[in-house]
Structure 1
């Protein structure tokens, strides 16, 4: 068995839809919200700004505001960023939503269930040892063990025998990693 991979294959974890937010609705028992059309609300009171990201309850549709900036001086924000809030810039909505400090401050978590997929090319059968590099387009938390089992269609026992990696495979990660798939032991 060769100990050095002959080929490096890229695997990419890619978003299929924006994640849901795990946050309690004040009108109904739901704990899920969406960003809907991805809108900000900007309120200018004299020289101070209030900026919120609008979210909708996934069950009853109630609109709630998540604080992005609260009573900040207008001049404290770069003009391009402020224009992005006014224009409901999709990239600024994503950046805001994926910011862990924003999530912590507004007490929500992202729910990625059913909102991402793995893009993985087939592994050539003639190669006995393959290195696979996993990258994440978005911060989707997955257990490497589950991702490898899903991507290769093998059991956890087979992962233990055939996969070598430097990351803990049973702990969720949002960071890219790589692993080596060894040929099956005969």
Structure 2
């Protein structure tokens, strides 16, 4: 069995319309939060920057939340602009829904693992594991990992997952000998 691991190489871009230039792409850059205190209430925003015009926008993370409702480590992460807190916040599907954006994972992940040697004994079983929740279509991932076209990869594999739907869950597939 061959192990393949899908890893995030950077944070994904956001598909979010810029108010100034109407571009559809934004980034978190180094990842910064803005925390605003109003008495005993806090507002927390994640700052994002337009890729085209550099305009900064805010994504609402918490609005009018009491200070006591925060875990101290979480609050410290917001104040310190902790990269792990930025990633966890950005990858939260509730944040994306509330702020009306989607994530663009193009070029933000890599596949680690030995390529199957296509001259070895058949069949070859490959186990795919995701280190981060990177949504990738299995057919594209398998074709990329095998160095084959998608059609050729689909002809040569046996798999129990839906190949044309993005997944973030691990799966196993078997590569059959070319017929």
TM range (shorter): over 0.9
Determine if the alignment matches structure 1 residue 18 to structure 2 residue 16: no
Relative to 1, partners in 2 of residues 1:61 and 1:132: Cα closer, same or farther, differing over 3 Å? same
CA distance in 2, matches of 1:20, 1:59: 12
CA distance in 2, matches of 1:44, 1:171: 42
Give the alignment's Cα RMSD to 1 decimal.
Answer: 1.4
Which runs of 5 or more residues in structure 1 are unaligned? 1-7
Q: Deviations over 1:25-84 (max 9, x none)?
A: 111121111101211000110000000000001111111110010001110111111111
TM-score (norm 2): 0.93
TM-score (norm 1): 0.90
CA distance in 1, matches of 2:62, 2:23: 26
Task: Map residues 61-100 of structure 1 onto 2, 5 A cutoff.
Answer: 61-100=54-93
CA distance in 2, matches of 1:126, 1:11: 17
Q: Deviations over 1:100-131 (max 9, x none)?
A: 01110111111111222222303243321211
Determine if the alignment matches structure 1 residue 151 to structure 2 residue 145: yes
Match of 1:165 among 159, 169, 176: 159
Deviation of residue 16 (structure 1)?
A: 2.1
Determine if the alignment matches structure 1 residue 128 to structure 2 residue 113: no
SS in 2 for 1:134: strand
Q: Which has the larger radius of gyration?
A: 1
Deviation of residue 160 (structure 1)?
A: 3.6
Match of 1:142 among 118, 133, 136: 136
CA distance in 2, matches of 1:155, 1:39: 40
SS in 2 for 1:36: strand
Deviation of residue 179 (structure 1)?
A: 0.3
SS in 1 for 2:65: strand
CA distance in 2, matches of 1:182, 1:15: 29
4+ long deviations beyond 6 Å: none
Please tell me whether the aligned partners of residues 139 and 154 of structure 2 are also in contact (alpha carbons under 8 angstroms): no
